[in-house]
């Protein structure tokens, strides 16, 4: 009868005897020879095969050369826009003065008669014609009086051409007659919006 195959205790004792014999034989043979470089690489490869993917990735990161730090340019934020100064309250603009240009013509006026003499007046403001004036806006004054009555404020005819041109006719006051000479006068004009202007003129009577 084969005891090794039938009894468990006998099987255990038989295995222990075989292991002890193998250990004694190994001790008699001495230490194993050193492993070659190829064998070490094979064992390392086998060991790596049993690692998890996470462990392999970690080992690869540890063996990878360190990367140099990349300097990311930092841009300063744009400066805040300067506050726009608020416009100060402007004082009301003064009305533009009236500009006068005067030409005189004796016409039928002559020494010793009482015919009217003419004045052509151009009235502008800032280069624009002033067309809304009437006779009440004009004042005529004679200076450096010659013998006889003056023609100051004696406007006998007034016409508005509608283009900024005005035609005025004057004659001596009180039915007096003209005296020959150079008669100097001053023309004053005011507009309905209280703009003012003045000009000097010379009327020659022969």
| Contact (CB, 8 A) for 203 and 106 | yes
Task: Find the helix or strand (DSSP H, E) in which 181 lies.
Answer: strand 181-190
The better pLDDT of the pair 149, 191 is held by 191
| 13 within a domain of the structure (yes/no) | no
For residue 170, count other CB atoms closer than 10 A to its CB.
24
Q: What is the largest CA-CA distance in the chain?
A: 188
171: in domain: yes
Amino acid 6: pLDDT = 55
Contacts of 177 by beta carbon, 8 Å cutoff, 6+ apart? 111, 112, 113, 114, 148
Q: Residues 80-114: pLDDT tens digits?
A: 787 787 776 666 666 789 999 999 999 999 999 99
What Cα–Cα distance (Å) separates residue 199 from each residue in 12, 102, 141? 148, 7, 11
Nearest CA among 72, 78, 125, 133 for reference residue 101:
125
CATH of the domain at 180: 2.60.40.1220
Q: Is residue 116 part of a domain?
A: yes
Residue 84 lies in a domain: no
- What pLDDT, on the 0 to 100 scale, is given for residue 3? 45
Between 59-63, 89-93, 159-163, the lowest mean confidence (pLDDT) is in: 89-93
Lowest average pLDDT, out of 39-43, 124-128, 157-161, 181-185, goes to 39-43
Domain assignment of residue 83, yes or no: no
d(CA 189, CA 206): 28
Cβ 158 vs Cβ 168: under 8 Å: yes
CB atoms within 10 A of CB 35: 11
Tally of domains in the chain: 1
| pLDDT of the residue at 2 | 47
pLDDT, residue 98, reads 95
Query: What pLDDT score was predicted for residue 26?
Result: 54
- pLDDT > 70? residue 118: yes
Whether 5 is covered by a domain: the verdict is no
Is 182 inside any structural domain?
yes
What's the confidence (pLDDT) of residue 7? 62
Which residues are CB-neighbours of 128 under 8 A, at least 6 positions away? 164
Determine which helix (DSSP H) or strand (DSSP E) holds 202, and give its type and residue range: strand 196-205
Helical (H) or strand (E) element with 141? strand 138-143
Q: Which domain holds residue 166?
A: 99-205
What angle is formed at CA 13 by the lines to CA 9 and CA 15, rounded to 5 degrees? 115
The verdict on residue 140 lying in a domain is: yes
Write down the pLDDT at residue 4. 47
Distance CA(4)–CA(13), nearest Å, equals 9
Question: Do 122 and 165 form a contact (C-beta atoms < 8 A)?
Answer: yes
């Amino acid at each position: 009868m084969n005891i090794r195959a039938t009894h468990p205790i006998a099987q255990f004792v038989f295995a222990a005897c075989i292991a002890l014999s193998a250990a004694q034989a190994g001790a008699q043979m001495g230490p194993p020879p050193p492993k070659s470089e190829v064998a070490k690489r094979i064992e390392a490869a086998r060991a790596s095969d049993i690692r998890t993917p996470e462990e392999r990735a970690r080992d690869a990161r540890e063996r990878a050369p360190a990367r140099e730090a990349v300097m990311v340019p930092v841009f300063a934020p744009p400066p805040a826009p300067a506050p726009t100064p608020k416009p100060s309250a402007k004082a009301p603009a003064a009305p533009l003065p009236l500009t006068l240009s005067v030409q005189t013509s004796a016409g039928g006026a002559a020494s010793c008669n009482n015919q009217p003499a003419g004045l052509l007046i151009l009235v502008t403001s800032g280069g624009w014609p002033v067309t809304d004036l009437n006779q009440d806006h004009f004042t005529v004054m004679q200076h450096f009086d010659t013998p006889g009555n003056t023609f100051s404020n004696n406007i006998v005819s007034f016409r508005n051409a509608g283009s900024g041109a005005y035609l005025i006719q004057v004659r001596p006051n009180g039915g007096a007659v003209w005296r020959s000479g150079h008669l100097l006068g001053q023309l004053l004009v005011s507009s309905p919006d209280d703009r003012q202007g003045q000009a000097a003129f010379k009327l020659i009577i022969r």
